[in-house]
Structure 1
Amino acid sequence: MKALLPVLLAGALLATPAVAQKTTAKKASTSAATTTATYKLEPQLSTLGWVGKKVTGQHNGTVDFKEGEVLVKGNQVTGGTFVVDMTTLKDEDIKDAGGNGKLVGHLKSEDFFSVEKNPTATFKITSLAPIKGAAADADNMTVTGDLTIKGITNSITFPAKVGVKNGLAAASGTATVDRTKYDIKFRSKSFFENLGDKVIDNDFMMTFNVIAKQPTSVASNK
């Protein structure tokens, strides 16, 4: 019996590190699930399109993201901030160079986005709420955030498809924006009378596809 005691004691001591390793691994996994990570926006992979309508038709184009970040906890997006470079605003439907340049110049002027004074616009997520029963390929989140244009900030809400997978956070959807809330009143029937077919809709649409990447140092530790 005495001869068995050292063997049993040695076995117990050798088993201890294995238990410690399991405990440490469990704690690390729990920590990863509760720690918020910052994913960096990939401007070259992200797109932002716009559509503006009027009585006689519509115009559409793009504007580039400058920078941004997405906050991720576990496999869920919890927040984010995005900066748009308004100097990159383009129109895609007018093929004539002269007419295209005239429209873009007008959109960048004081009548619309006042780009010289306000070269960037920003959007900051303030809340995300799951959409119950959303299909796998449909919008699954209701996103609310603060949109700042021309230095004026208003809260907007819209549905989007949001997800995190393999070190990438992605979001896509369409948001409707009332331009008059940002002091863009040019040819708005809400402020001017007798415009006839010169009326421009107050609302314009922004369609986005955002891709953000997990920092390399964090991804390599997984």
Structure 2
Amino acid sequence: MKRGIKTIAILTLVTVFAMSFSAIERIEKPVKVDESKVVWKGYKVTGSHEGTITLKDAKLILDDDKLTGGEFVIDMTSISVTDLEGEYQGKLEGHLKSDDFFGVEKFPTAKLVFTNVKPSGKNAYAVTGDLTIKGKTNPVDFTISIYGSKATANLKIDRSKFDVRYGSTSFFDNLKDKAIYDEFDIIADLEF
């Protein structure tokens, strides 16, 4: 009889203890690529250019509403220029898609996979991810903020790490006012 009561008491304690902890709910949130916008901005000695690029596929991973991961596939063939029109717009878009820059015929996508996510403030996260452009993978650090079903990420990317050489002083001397800075910005406004 004592053994039965002791067993029931232990089972009750184990059950109550187990139920006092809620399970972490891991959710993969697909990013609505058609409703999201990714803007790029590149800089040169004599000014800058900007445009858009589209996501092919993307998701954010949340554990109990806290960001813990993510993965993005970027459609490099969609590079467009928004600060020029007509012939000059077409020429720059073609040049950016060529082997001088992103070689989109051979490398039609780029990929970003989150490898480390840490909260850095209310709704903000410091993220390290592996970015692959032109078949080369390098780590990038950036911030992302999440508000409800929207997120904003800001990245600064050093193109020289991905063998994007055209007009780069990291690879060529005496470019003077033809130099294009290695770092360019990506601002992503995401909906999921």
Q: Which TM class, normalised by the smaller chain length?
A: 0.7 to 0.9
State the AA in 1 paired with 2:84: I
* 1:200 alignment counterpart: 180
* 2:22 alignment counterpart: 30
Measured on the aligned residues, the alpha-carbon RMSD in Å equals 2.0
* 2:61 alignment counterpart: 71
Correspondence for 1:180 among 160, 166, 171? 160
Give me the whole-angstrom Cα distance separating, in 1, the residues matched to 2:89 and 2:161: 26
Give me the whole-angstrom Cα distance separating, in 1, the residues matched to 2:167 and 2:56: 30
Correspondence for 1:43 among 33, 41, 44? 33
* 1:153 alignment counterpart: 137
Give me the whole-angstrom Cα distance separating, in 1, the residues matched to 2:113 and 2:190: 13
- 1:138-164 CA-to-partner distances (Å, cap 9, x unmatched) read x7211110111111110000122134x
State the AA in 1 paired with 2:27: A
The answer to which structure has the higher strand fraction is 2
Larger radius of gyration: 1
1:69-148 matched pairs, under 5 angstroms? 69-95=59-85, 97-131=86-120, 134=121, 140-148=124-132
Number of aligned positions between the proteins: 177
Give me the whole-angstrom Cα distance separating, in 1, the residues matched to 2:191 and 2:115: 19
The answer to which structure has the higher helix fraction is 1
Give me the whole-angstrom Cα distance separating, in 2, the residues matched to 1:83 and 1:174: 16
Query: TM-score by structure 2 length?
Result: 0.86
Measure how far apart 1:127 and its partner are: 1.1
Measure how far apart 1:76 and its partner are: 0.7
Correspondence for 2:46 among 35, 46, 56? 56
State the AA in 2 paired with 1:191: F
Deviating beyond 4 angstroms after TM superposition, the runs of 4 or more aligned structure 1 residues are none
